[in-house]
Structure 1
Amino acid sequence: MIDIQMKELEEKIAAVKHSIGQNESSKLFSLTKKIENKDPLLIFEGAKQFVKDRFYWKNPNRTLAITGVGSVQTLIAENNRFQETENLWKQAVKNAWIDNPYTMVPATGLVAFGGMDFDPLEAKTELWKKFELSKFYIPELMLTTYHSDSYVTVNILINKEETIDEAATRLRKNTQKFITGKTFGVQHIEIKRNRVIEPEKWKETVKEATKEMKEKRAEKIVLAREVRLSFTEEINITQVLEELHHTQANSYIFAFESGGDCFIGATPERIVKVEKNNLLSTCLAGTAPRGKTKEEDEQIGYELLHDKKNRDEHEFVVKMIKEAVLKTCTDVNIPNEPVLHPLKNLQHLYTPVTGTLKDEYSIFDCLKDLHPTPALGGTPTEDSLAYIREHELLDRGWYGAPIGWVDSNQNGEFAVAIRSGLIQGDEASLFAGCGVLADSDPEMEFEETRIKMLPMLNVLGGKQE
Structure 2
Amino acid sequence: MLHTKIPQIEEIVEGAINKAALLGEPQLISVVKQIDKTNSISFLDRAHKLDEHRSYWRSADEEFVLVGVGSAQKILSSDQHRFNEIEAVWNEVQQKADVFDPHHEKGTGLVCLGGFSFDTEQDNAYPWEHFPDSQMTIPMYLLTNKGNQSYLTTNILILEEDHKQQIVNQVEEAHALLLDGSREETQLPACTDIEEIEPEEWKLLVDKATNDIKNGELEKVVLAREIRLQFKNDIELAAVIEKLAESQSQSYIFSVESGGHHFVGATPERLVKVENQELVSTCLAGTIPRGRDNEEDHRFGQELLNDPKNRQEHDFVVKMIRNAVEACCYDIEIPEKPVVYPLSNLQHLYTPVTATLEEGYTLLDVVARLHPTPALGGMPQQKSVDYIRSHEALNRGWYAGPIGWFDGRNNGEFAVAIRSALIREDGASLFAGCGVVEDSDPEAEYVETGVKLKPMLSVLGGS
Aligned equivalent of 1:285? 285
Q: Paired residue for 1:180?
A: 180
Q: For 2:274, give the aligned amino acid.
A: V
Matched letter for residue 243 of structure 1:
K
Q: Is the 8 A contact 2:45 2:185 kept in 1?
A: no
Corresponding residue SS for 1:121: coil
Partner SS, residue 157 of structure 2: strand
Asked if 1:90 is matched to 2:99, the reply is no
Residue 25 (1) aligns with residue 18 (2): no
| Map of 2:61 onto structure 1 | 61
Code of the aligned partner of 2:89: L
Deviation at 1:56, TM superposition (A): 0.4
- The Cα shift of 1:106 comes to 1.4
- Name which of structure 1's ranges 39-48 and 17-26 shifts more when overlaid on structure 2: 17-26
Match of 1:195 in 2: 195
Alignment of 1:346-361 (within 5 A): 346-361=346-361
Q: Is the 8 A contact 1:400 1:417 kept in 2?
A: yes
Look up the match of 1:3.
none
Task: Report the Cα offset of residue 163 of structure 1.
Answer: 4.9
- Alpha-carbon contact 1:43-1:182 (below 8 Å) kept: no
Distance 1:163 1:313 in 2: 59
> What amino acid does structure 2 have at the position aligned with 1:99?
F
Q: How does 1:22-421 map to 2 (within 5 A)?
A: 22-79=22-79, 80-103=81-104, 105-180=105-180, 182-184=182-184, 186-187=186-187, 189-421=189-421
Structure 2 unpaired stretches of 5+: 1-5
Deviation at 1:299, TM superposition (A): 0.6
Between the two proteins, the alignment pairs up a number of residues equal to 458
Return 53-62 or 431-440, whichever deviates more. Answer: 53-62
Residue 87 of structure 2 aligns to a residue whose secondary structure is helix
Q: Shift of the alpha carbon at 1:453?
A: 0.3
Aligned-residue offset at 1:170? 3.5
1:52·1:260 contact (CA, 8 Å) conserved in 2? no
* Shift of residue 186, structure 1, vs aligned partner: 4.0
Q: CA deviation at 1:126?
A: 2.1
Offset at residue 9 of structure 1 (A): 2.6
Q: Which moved more, 1:439-448 or 1:186-195?
A: 186-195
Structure 1 partner of 2:3: none
Q: How far has the Cα of 1:260 moved from its partner?
A: 1.1
SS in 1 for 2:450: helix
Q: Secondary structure at the match of 1:310?
A: helix
Q: Secondary structure in 1 aligned to 2:353?
A: strand
Partner of 1:446: 446
Tell me the distance in 1 between the aligned counterparts of 2:107 and 2:425. Answer: 30
Query: What root-mean-square deviation, in Å, do the aligned CA atoms of Structure 1 and Structure 2 show?
Result: 1.7
Structure 1 residue 289: deviation in Å? 0.3
1:184 Cα offset (Å): 3.1
Distance change in 2, residues 1:33/1:52 (3 Å)? closer
Separation in 2, partners of 1:55, 1:171: 19
Q: Are the counterparts in 1 of residues 17 and 161 from structure 2 also a CA contact under 8 Å? A: no
Contact 2:186 2:238 in 1 (8 A): no
The answer to which of 255-264 and 74-83 deviates more is 74-83
Equivalent position SS for 2:37: coil
Compared with structure 1, are the counterparts of its residues 207 and 53 closer, same or farther at alpha carbon in structure 2 (3 Å cutoff)?
same
1:78-109 per-residue CA deviation (whole Å, 9 max, x = no partner) reads 21211111112111111111111121x21111
Return the alpha-carbon distance in structure 2 between the equivalents of residues 381 and 297 of structure 1. 33
Structure 2 residue identity aligned to 1:198: E
Q: Which runs of 5+ in 1 are unaligned?
A: 1-5
TM-score (norm 1): 0.95
Superimposed CA distance per residue, residues 25-73 of structure 1 (whole angstroms, 9 cap, x where no aligned partner)? 3211100000001111112111213224110011113410110011111
TM-score (norm 2): 0.95
Offset at 1:7? 7.3
